[in-house]
Structure 1
Amino acid sequence: MIKRTVMVGLATTALASTSLLLAGPAQAAKNVESCSITDILPDRVVIGTSAERVQFGVRTTCDDQDVKFAVRGAGIGTSAHAFWFAACNYDMLQGPTNFDCTHGGSGVINPIGGTYRGYDFVPGNDLTGPNPIYAGAFVDADHNAKDDDGGGHFELSETITLLRQTRFGDSLDASPEPVRKGKKINLAADLETADWNTGTWEGVDATVQIQFRAVGEKKYRTVKTVTATGGKVDTSVVAKRSGDWRAHHPATEATAASTSGSDYVKVKPAR
């Protein structure tokens, strides 16, 4: 009986192996011809200045079945069996030889320096945003890791969004400490973004939210939005209450969100 939905693999960036998640007892391979992939996971990955091993998975309509899958990025024109990343969760793949089936469904995505799609070279930073991704799967009813049960492959084409990592490190500084109520608090920080062309960190022009959490409060609130110029944040606010200050960069279509560490400033009564 075909049901909705099992997830094969774990949709997070990780180094650990993946195992098939079954919703119930294994069944014979009946109605395999009706199986389909409904989603490829994860749908986004954050990468810094070095390659990232990503744990892939697929969702299928083949509930209670042993599903084997393979995931790949765009092909490289120099070989019919070469892709710029590839992974699978079974050991005996018939076809492309560069699927690495020894890491439980995980594969290495490396945008640093760029890669080829077909015969076209794509520079590293141009790989930010949506990228094509493809998945193929089959029901392995006899658990021999081979597509020999008569059901054939089922496939899905989607996109995976790659985001450049950002970071503040320990750069945030709020001063002076302490300060009189009504006086200015100066806030400075350095925001860096991964440059996939060079594999280094660079300061960029970006939106930064200055956030504050007063003593006794649980959540931060945004009190000011500024633009980091070349990665430099330099602004001031009026001191009202003692509490923690931090900087936050919201995610964009190309960069991941990041938040600085906090800096506590005690506010003394005005004279």
Structure 2
Amino acid sequence: MKTPVRRGFPAGRRATTVLAAAGTMLAGTLLAAPGAHAADSDITFSDVVINKGKPIVLGTGAEVEVPLTYTVKTKVKLDDWWVSAYRGTFGQNEYTLAGSTIQWSCAQSSAGGYTFYDCKESMFVDPDAMVNGRTRVNGDATTWKTVATAIKIGGGYDDDLLSYTTRLKRASVIEGADASPEPVTKGKPITIKGTLKRANWSTHRYDLYGGQKVTLQFKAAGTTAYTNVKTITTTSTGALKTTVTAAEDGTWRWYYAGDSVTGAKATTGDYVDVR
């Protein structure tokens, strides 16, 4: 089993600090690599899964820790190895998704002349990170390719361009979600409001998000599941407002399912006492 180590990826603000702390320059190999080359048949990476197969949703504040699992199969002895997600053309103008990773568990086994490492790691994705000389921009909300790198004991390395991809999305929020009046007389109207916004990585703020379908959901008192009541479309300024008839005690919330570049969001819910 490998000793857990936090590894910085190239040219990041965070990577510089991490490499100094870890006392290793292995991650710098990617910076100096002359480009992708034919994968070594004695080293293969498989079963790569990032964020348990779900999109990575990133806001404008704290970095997000993302689970990463994969298997290494090798006939040669390795000094180090890793999997990273990137955009661009590998070996020419690529930039990486994460600022660093922690490899915290690699279970080792052997069969048929091969050594296997089943690895569990964490990738750290930061909305403020410099990645290969650039800050994160909204265009990063797209599909990211993956590459695996193995460093051989005694020198040499192997890059394996993988078929696995992952998707990065901009986080959404629904502000001012409120159901009123509270309490309310049975048969009287309840008005539910809110405002949909989504992360803007270029400006480090949340912008109003208009023209989006958002669903009003209700959970009756004493139950555990929400049911869909109606779906409305946000105004050009992201505003949400609708009216329902008070029938029983329960909790109201908004649910936004997201889109191809925006993550889903559900509000915490607002309980209304019907009398």
TM interval, shorter chain, is: 0.5 to 0.7
Distance 1:62 1:237 in 2: 59
Pairwise CA distance, 1:244: 0.9
User: Are residue 249 (structure 1) and residue 256 (structure 2) matched?
Assistant: yes
Alignment of 1:234 with 2:241, yes or no, is: yes
Percent identity between the aligned chains?
Answer: 27
Amino acid in structure 2 at the alignment position of 1:218: T
For residues 23-102 of structure 1, the aligned pairs below 5 Å read 33=42, 35-42=44-51, 43=53, 44-50=55-61, 52-55=63-66, 57-60=68-71, 62=73, 68-74=81-87, 83-85=95-97, 87=100
Kindly provide the amino acid, as one letter, of the partner of residue 69 in structure 1: W
- Tell whether the 8 Å contact from 2:86 to 2:94 is kept in structure 1 after alignment: no
Partner of residue 138 from structure 2, selected from 118, 122, 125 = 125
Unpaired runs of 5+ residues, structure 1, are 1-7, 10-31, 91-103, 139-145
Q: Which has the higher strand share?
A: 2
Q: What TM-score comes out, normalization by structure 1 length? A: 0.63
Report how far residue 40 of structure 1 moved.
4.6
Q: What stretches of structure 2 of length at least 5 have no aligned partner?
A: 6-40, 104-120
- Aligned with 1:73: secondary structure? strand
Which of the residues 226, 230, 235 maps onto 1:224? 230
RMSD: 3.8
Contact 1:37 1:156 in 2 (8 A): no
Counterpart amino acid of residue 259 in structure 1: A
Provide the residue aligned with 1:181 in structure 2: 186
Is this contact kept in 2: 1:58–1:69, CA < 8 A? no
> Structure 1 or 2: larger helix share?
2
Report matched runs for 1:138-153 at 5 Å: 138=150, 147-148=152-153, 153=158
Q: Which amino acid aligns with 2:232?
A: V
Q: TM-score, normalised by structure 2?
A: 0.63
Alpha-carbon offset, residue 148 of structure 1: 1.6
Q: Residue 212 of structure 1: CA displacement?
A: 0.6
Q: Secondary structure of 2:138's match?
A: helix
One-letter amino acid of the counterpart of residue 160, structure 2: E
Q: Secondary structure at the match of 1:35?
A: strand
Matched residue count: 211
Q: How big is each residue's C-alpha offset from its partner over 1:31-79, in whole Å with a ceiling of 9 and x where there is no partner?
A: x81633332523531111147354463412539x9873142523589x9
